[in-house]
Structure 1
Amino acid sequence: MGGQPLLLPRTHFSSPNRKLLGRDTSSVALSWFFWLLHHNPEVEHNILQEICRIVGARTSSDRDREIKSDDDEAVVFKPEEIKKMEYLHAALSEALRLYPSVPLDHKEVVEDDVFPDGTILKKGTKVIYAMYTMGRMEAIWGKDCREYKPERWLRSSDGRFMSESAYKFTAFNGGPRLCLGKDFAYYQMKFVAASIIYRYRVKVVENHPVEPKLALTMYMKHGLKVTLQKRDHAGRHK
């Protein structure tokens, strides 16, 4: 840190903190993600079809080893399969755009500076920015900025995931402060989401109130109550 050796006690403190913070932000993100899927069944369908294509591409030996009879509980996604889930990656990014796990942040100016528009920033000034608001600004994301549209993250030519500038999509911060756990968070969320969607249809309980609790992390004020309907083989491949 700052070119100085990191003391062991500080390492012990830092490592579990990162795991805990990552766990909370990922679980919050997944709650909003499944709520959005409930209201956008066509997105859920596209994700499921992508997962089924990836599972279907496994070699016969893999399928024989992991899926005996019709035991879907045996399906464990491999890292290389998770990486191929481009549409799921886009759907999670779109959920984070609309409902970032951390809705508000601030930085402190370390030395006097001047913005291109002439705004003067003095050393010590606190600059507050709202990721929640930025993700819904028409000037940044276009006229459909309030729509849940994973396709905005995919290249039209080949359907591959297309990342945005960290200064436009700020859910993981940017520059030197870019979240160290970004790639792990995506892997974790994709693994959990794919494992659930492949096995179950997730439905939000009727009339369950959903609203954000604005805090350091944007939890759902009343949590998310859902029912799980197990998918059969036929339902999975409709």
Structure 2
Amino acid sequence: MKVLLLGGTGEARELAQMLAGVEVVSSLAGRITDARLPAGQVRQGGFGGVEGLTDWLRTSDVDAVVDATHPFAATMTAHAATATRQLDIPLLVLRRPGWTAQPGDTWHRATTAAAAADLLPALGTRVFLTIGRQGLPAFQETGLWTLARCVEPPEPVPTWCELILDRGPYAVDGELALMRQQRIDVLVTKDSGGPQTSAKLVAARELGVPVVLIRRPPLPPGVEVVDSVDRVVEWVRSRR
């Protein structure tokens, strides 16, 4: 059996390790130059849209596709849904659960980065952005002091905000220290879920800092979705 594993997440690396006895090709988009590589075969770079992915799946004799991309990688998920439907190849989407508000949290939800930016003037004056580099331009015109944390620098490097380059996982003590030092009074993040970057939410709760949480994009209609690595392994093995 041959499986294309659309990766880039910790869950995808775990799956590549766990699917012993299955030929797995892990595909990484290539947006992070020093990405942590999974075990086994690795393919880096885009496919060239739906047509390129369809051609690759056909010529590579793939039996199934597992989408374990980031919950906000909507374009890749949509392409995978279209290509596998055209070729009648089984597709399973792995999405970790989103975060759940806890007592003491003050969360404001937004559907897009632009909508999140519109909320900020009423919430604070010193903003901490933890949304990745692609969504930063939506916040350029807020007029608020802004600290942005990214894994890699945006291109071009923004001059309208302070920039920190760092990669999780993060600890609560470190997030508390950073937010206190920078006098952060509003946090903006994506509802990525998982423990790797959740410490900032705990820190915001302890400091009484409001959070603007950007909602996940909707999944394509009709796709099969699970929320754990174990369920993906069961799904793959049931098709061997």
Shorter-chain TM-score: which interval? under 0.3
Higher strand proportion (structure 1 or 2)? 2
Higher helix proportion (structure 1 or 2)? 1
Normalized against structure 1, the TM-score is what?
A: 0.21
Normalized against structure 2, the TM-score is what?
A: 0.21
Question: Which structure would you say has the larger RCO, counting Cα contacts within 8 Å and 6 or more residues apart?
Answer: 1
